[in-house]
């Protein structure tokens, strides 16, 4: 049904680049799922149904990976044998860490005084920073400056986690 | 001009028969069954033309009743009349914050709560299967054949245990489950295909006992669920309960008996429904104690006392929007599903939140069953060439593993599109270790204790190696029903480790197998016993009726007639004691025949009696 040895980009017939057309990805995703989804093979025999399940899960996995800005970057690096998030190499620039430490403190304070507006403002800031970082990352990846890209991936992942924590804090405040 | 085609005699028709498939909405309050007939989805009504089946099961003295018949027993026999069983599916007693609201004798047991009834101890799975069985019988009678399969709907926010319990109930009812389908998604199919819509839609589904909010993107025939959120213990029932509490307070009445609770809840529901079209409604009841409740409930009061509940539905709405990274103004339309969305305060709150009036084009009680029928038709292989739509649904809750220190590590995030396969590698902790235990949890919290334990499974048969050398790859698979399965393999040796999944909630496969055996073995016996009871009741009724007729009008009979009726009655009495139901039924038929002439004579006499005393001219003038 589908070739499981293909990389995610090849699976969707897309060039292996960071910047890409999300509409083209979605269209390719829908086209593939129309062919392999278990609902399309519900009246088949056991083997056909098992294969549909595996293929459809693989297409979902590939789609999720390419849609996510951090995972897509990591994946592009991994295709070149670079592990962006290796545990032996977790260094982040001092200045970045300093800023994030302050942000953490601001978040804790806003939470302590029950200030959803403050948390919301922090979230907007983090999202803006992440968007800027993502643009820089795109330049580095598509310009094939791998080491600089690796650092940006780590920072972006960090910011994603901060944003997720802020969202959770806001949600908790809402009850 | 077309030539008539004449088939060879006895040749099989070339056209493949439609496979009979149905969609079932197993609701908290009402359940429905629907099918696609000549391309159009339709709800299948019962013999009396009623589309809904109240989701009520009565374990009565003479057997099990389901639906309207069971509803009639609600007030008289509350402990044996099970309502809202959906709220108990896949739930332990500790999960039921509102357990005291139910008048049942609960038995806590590992996995799922059980209920002590007149017919014995029953699991919620068995009670639900009675409802499903009733719908299966209705569908088979209506469609004239055995069903090839069914799509059964579940609230989108149901977790693995609740889904598994629903699937088990369907199997127990003799249904081949083609798919478990999320209720809001089913509604979106019925709605979207009907309107050929494109864009982002919110489905606000407030049922009898559950609330779901799903966000879907409809484009080029693909229904893609972006996010779903909900509350599996929030629904129309809670609004009834709020009105019930208000009524007790307003009438200054203390705690009441289970029967009176049922009576008042029925009155509360009627009041709630009346407020859909009226500005105020009376709430009147006489309790078994003789106390009277005589109140007026205004729409305004109703809105005030239920404001918290309405607000509670908006929390999942916000959460789903956040997860999908959307704002209320990004939504192209809000589809209202579930009878409870008829409440004006709900309509108003939703319109206010989204800044646009919600869509109510399709019957909110039927839309889920209709969507399920469309999906069932396609899955059974009856897809028409122009039906090229596809459904992409998600899991509602994150899936994680227990790690050191009782923390969870997420392996699948919520709102991930199904089916999903995730592999995770584990290693051994000690030299020569051949087994390990892994705990899978579902939920969003950091600590294992705050999540719902899905399964605890053991890996056995790991080849003995030094600590840390084994590489055990565990694969978690979530299928299109949203159900989890687990497999494992040691990577360096390729040895398949045996996985035994012990569900922490829900029933083990062996339990289901036993129930299936029990129900099949006993089904024939049960039916026979029930038929015999019915025949006996009928025989006694006829004997009593004949006796009173003889007492009143026996003088109409000549000796030969009298002897024939007496003989027929004697035969019925003799056979009433025996075990042969068919012989008894034959005797009843014979007695009925023997009294036919007598009945005509009695009718003539009573007509003559009614006319007696009136003069001929009076009759002529009339």
- SS3 letters across B39-72: CEEEECCCCCCCCCEECEEEEECCEEEECHHHHC
**For residue B192, what pLDDT is reported?**
81
Tokens of B170: 């369907």
End-to-end CA distance of chain A: 46
* H or E, element range at B613: none
Q: So what's the pLDDT on residue B501?
A: 58
* Partners of residue B477 in chain A, C-beta under 8 Å: 53, 57
CA–CA separation, B221 and B411 (whole Å): 30
Can B25 be counted among the known catalytic residues? yes
Q: Is the model's pLDDT at B11 over the cut of 50?
A: no
Whether the pLDDT of residue B242 is over 90: the answer is: yes
ipTM of model: 0.87
Q: What is the pLDDT of residues B479-521, one digit of tens each?
A: 999 888 887 777 777 777 666 555 555 555 566 566 555 555 5
Which residues of chain A does CATH 1.20.1280.20 include?
94-174
Contact with chain A for residue B140, Cβ under 8 A: no
* DSSP for residue B359: B
Q: Cβ–Cβ of A43/B392 closer than 8 Å?
A: no
Residue B423 has pLDDT above 60, yes or no: yes
Say yes or no for a CB contact (<8 Å) between B416 and A64: yes
User: Chain B within 8 Å of A167 (Cβ-Cβ)?
Assistant: yes
> Do B420 and A60 lie within an 8 Å CB cutoff?
yes
What pLDDT, on the 0 to 100 scale, is given for residue B514?
61
Contact check, Cβ <8 Å, A64/B318: no
Mutate to test the interface with A, among B392, B413, B481, B483 (most CBs of A within 10 A): B392
d(CA B64, CA B117): 11
**Hey, are the CB atoms on A60 and B179 less than 8 Å from each other?**
no
Most confidently modeled range among A165-174, B172-181, B599-608 = B172-181
| Nearest residue in A to B412, CA atom | A61
pLDDT mean across residues, chain B: 85
> Is residue B620 predicted with pLDDT exceeding 60?
no
Q: How far, in Å, CA of B173 to CA of B612, rounded?
A: 60
Do A39 and B390 count as a contact with CB atoms less than 8 A apart?
Answer: yes
Q: What percent of chain B has pLDDT over 70?
A: 85
- For residue B388, give the chain A residue with the closest CA: A34
Band (B611; pLDDT cuts 50, 70, 90): very low
CA distance B333 to B86: 29
H-assigned helices in B366-423: 367-377
Residue of A135, A121, A141, A125 lying closest to A76 (CA atoms): A141
- Residue A67 touches chain B, beta carbons under 8 Å: no
Residue B171 in this model has a pLDDT that exceeds 60? yes
What's the pTM?
0.79
Is B130 in the active site? no
Active site residue B95: no
CATH 1.20.1280.20 fits A94-174, yes or no: yes
Residue B374 vs residues A87, B22, B31, B103, B146: alpha-carbon distances, Å: 50, 8, 17, 38, 18
Q: Please give the average per-residue pLDDT across B125-132, as a whole number.
A: 96
Residue of B nearest to A53 (CA): B419
Catalytic residue among B86, B167, B267, B272: B86
A91 touches chain B (CB under 8 A): no
Q: What is the pLDDT of residues A69-123, one digit of tens each?
A: 889 999 999 998 888 776 566 678 888 889 988 999 999 999 888 888 899 999 9
User: Is B222 an 8 Å CB contact of chain A?
Assistant: yes
Name the residue of chain B whose CA is nearest to A23's CA.
B219
What pLDDT is recorded for position B3? Answer: 45
The residue to which tokens 């990389």 are assigned: A7
pLDDT of B500: 57
- Judged by CB atoms closer than 8 Å, whether chains meet at A38 and B477 is answered as no
Tens of pLDDT, residues B31-84: 999 999 988 999 999 999 999 999 999 999 989 999 999 999 998 999 999 999
Q: Token pair 């079932």 is at which residue? A: B24
Residue of A nearest to B314 (CA): A174
Q: What is the predicted pLDDT for the residue at B241?
A: 95
What is the average pLDDT across B352-368?
94
Q: Do B480 and A37 touch (CB under 8 A)?
A: yes
Give how far Cα B387 sits from Cα of A40, B197, B222, B273, B374, Å: 11, 15, 11, 38, 10
Least confident of B141-155, B565-579, B589-603: B589-603
Is the predicted pLDDT of residue B536 greater than 90, yes or no?
A: no
Judge whether residue B308 has pLDDT over 60.
Answer: yes
Contacts of B227 (CB under 8 A, 6+ apart): B214, B215, B320, B321, B323, B324, B394, B415
* Integer-rounded Cα radius of gyration of chain A: 20
* Angle in degrees, CA B279, B280, B286, rounded to 5: 160
Choose, from B130, B133, B205, B240, the residue flagged as catalytic.
B205
**What is the distance in angstroms between the Cα of A140 and the nearest Cα belonging to chain B?**
27
3-state secondary structure of A29: helix
Residues 6+ apart with CB under 8 A from B418: A60, B393, B394, B395, B478, B479, B480, B482
For the cut 80, the answer to whether the pLDDT of residue B150 exceeds it is yes
Return the residue in A27, A51, A53, A59 with the most chain B beta carbons within 10 A, the one to mutate for interface testing. A53
Among the partner-chain residues B322, B391, B416, the one whose CB lies closest to the CB of A39 is B391
Residues, chain A: 175
Counted across chains A and B, CB pairs separated by less than 8 A come out at 63
Is A45 near chain B, with CB under 8 Å?
no
Q: Active site residue: B25, B46, B365, B402, which one?
A: B25
Mean pLDDT: which of A37-51, A147-161, B151-165, B531-545 is highest?
B151-165
Whether residue B160 lies in the annotated active site: no
Give domain A8-67's CATH architecture.
Orthogonal Bundle (1.10)
**Residues ≥6 apart with Cβ < 8 Å to A154:** A84, A85, A90, A92
Q: Please give the Cα distance from B240 to B75 (Å, whole number).
A: 16
Q: What percent of chain B has pLDDT over 90?
A: 51
Residue intervals in chain A for CATH 1.10.287.110: 8-67
Has residue B523 got a pLDDT over 80? no
Partners of residue A56 in chain B, C-beta under 8 Å: 419, 480
* Top mean-pLDDT range of A34-48, A103-117, B253-267, B338-352: B338-352
């Amino acid at each position: 049904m589908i070739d499981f040895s293909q990389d995610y980009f090849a699976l969707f017939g897309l060039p292996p680049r960071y910047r890409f057309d999300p509409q083209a990805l979605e269209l390719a995703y829908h086209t593939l799922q129309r062919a392999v989804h278990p609902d399309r093979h519900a009246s088949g025999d056991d083997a056909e149904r098992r294969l549909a399940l595996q293929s459809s899960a693989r297409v979902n996995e590939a789609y999720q990976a390419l849609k996510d800005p951090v995972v897509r970057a990591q994946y592009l690096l991994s295709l070149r044998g670079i592990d962006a998030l290796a545990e032996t190499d977790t260094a982040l620039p001092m200045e970045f860490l300093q800023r994030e430490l302050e942000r953490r403190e601001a978040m804790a304070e806003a939470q302590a005084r029950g200030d959803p507006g403050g948390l919301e403002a922090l979230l907007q800031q983090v999202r803006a920073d992440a968007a800027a970082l993502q643009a820089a990352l795109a330049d580095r990846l598509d310009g094939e400056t791998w080491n600089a890209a690796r650092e940006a991936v780590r920072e972006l992942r960090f910011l994603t986690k901060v944003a997720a924590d802020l969202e959770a804090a806001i949600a908790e405040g809402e009850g | 001009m077309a030539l008539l085609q004449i088939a060879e005699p006895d040749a099989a028709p070339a056209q493949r028969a439609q496979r009979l498939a149905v969609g079932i909405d197993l609701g908290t309050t009402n359940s429905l069954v629907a099918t696609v007939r000549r391309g159009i989805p339709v709800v299948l009504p019962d013999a009396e033309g009623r589309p809904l089946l109240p989701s009520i099961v009565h374990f009565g003295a003479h057997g099990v009743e389901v639906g309207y018949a069971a509803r009639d027993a609600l007030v008289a026999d509350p402990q044996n009349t099970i309502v809202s069983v959906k709220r108990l599916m896949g739930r332990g007693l500790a999960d039921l914050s509102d357990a005291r609201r139910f008048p049942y004798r609960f038995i806590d047991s590992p996995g799922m709560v059980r209920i002590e009834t007149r017919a014995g101890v029953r699991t919620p799975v068995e009670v639900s299967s009675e409802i499903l069985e009733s719908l299966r019988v209705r569908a088979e009678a209506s469609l004239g054949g055995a069903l090839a399969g069914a799509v059964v709907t579940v609230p989108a926010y149901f977790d693995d245990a609740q889904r598994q319990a629903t699937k088990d109930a369907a199997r127990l009812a003799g249904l081949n489950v083609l798919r478990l389908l999320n209720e809001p998604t089913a509604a979106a199919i019925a709605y979207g295909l009907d309107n050929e819509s494109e864009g982002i839609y919110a489905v606000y589904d407030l049922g009898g006992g559950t609330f779901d909010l799903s966000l879907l993107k409809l484009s080029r025939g693909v229904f893609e669920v972006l996010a779903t959120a909900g509350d599996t213990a929030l629904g129309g029932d809670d609004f009834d309960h709020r009105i019930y509490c208000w009524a007790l307070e307003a009438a200054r009445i203390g705690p009441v008996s289970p029967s009176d609770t049922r009576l008042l809840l029925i009155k509360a529901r009627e009041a709630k429904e009346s407020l859909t079209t009226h500005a105020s409604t009376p709430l009147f009841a006489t309790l078994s104690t003789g106390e009277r409740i005589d109140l007026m409930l205004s729409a305004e009061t109703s809105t005030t006392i239920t404001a918290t509940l309405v607000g509670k539905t908006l929390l999942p709405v916000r959460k789903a929007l956040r997860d999908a990274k959307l704002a209320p103004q990004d939504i192209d339309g809000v589809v209202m599903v579930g009878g409870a969305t008829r409440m004006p305060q709900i309509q108003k709150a939703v319109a206010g939140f989204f800044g646009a009036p919600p869509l109510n084009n399709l019957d909110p009680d039927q839309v889920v069953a209709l969507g399920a029928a469309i999906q069932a038709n396609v899955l059974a292989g009856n897809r028409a060439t122009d039906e090229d739509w596809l459904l992409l649904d998600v899991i509602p809750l994150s899936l994680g593993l227990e790690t050191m220190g009782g923390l969870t590590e997420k392996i699948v995030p919520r709102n991930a599109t199904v089916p999903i396969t995730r592999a995770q590698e584990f290693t051994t902790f000690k030299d020569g270790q051949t087994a390990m235990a892994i705990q899978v949890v579902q939920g969003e919290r950091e600590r294992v204790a705050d999540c719902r334990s899905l399964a605890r499974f053991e890996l056995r048969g790991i080849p003995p190696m030094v600590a840390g050398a084994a590489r055990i790859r565990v694969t978690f698979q979530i299928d299109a029903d949203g159900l989890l399965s687990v497999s494992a393999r040691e990577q360096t040796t390729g040895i398949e480790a045996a996985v035994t999944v012990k569900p922490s909630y829900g029933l083990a496969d062996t339990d289901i197998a036993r129930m299936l055996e029990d129900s099949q073995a006993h089904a024939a016996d049960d039916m026979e016993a029930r038929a015999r009871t019915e025949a006996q009741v009928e025989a006694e009724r006829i004997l009593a009726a004949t006796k009173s007729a003889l007492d009143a009008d026996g003088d109409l009979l000549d000796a030969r007639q009298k002897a024939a009726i007496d003989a027929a009655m004697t035969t019925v009495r003799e056979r009433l004691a025996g075990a042969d139901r068919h012989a008894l039924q034959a005797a009843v038929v014979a007695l009925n025949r023997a009294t036919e002439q007598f009945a005509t004579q009695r009718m003539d006499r009573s007509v003559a009696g009614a006319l007696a005393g009136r003069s001929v001219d009076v009759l002529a003038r009339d």
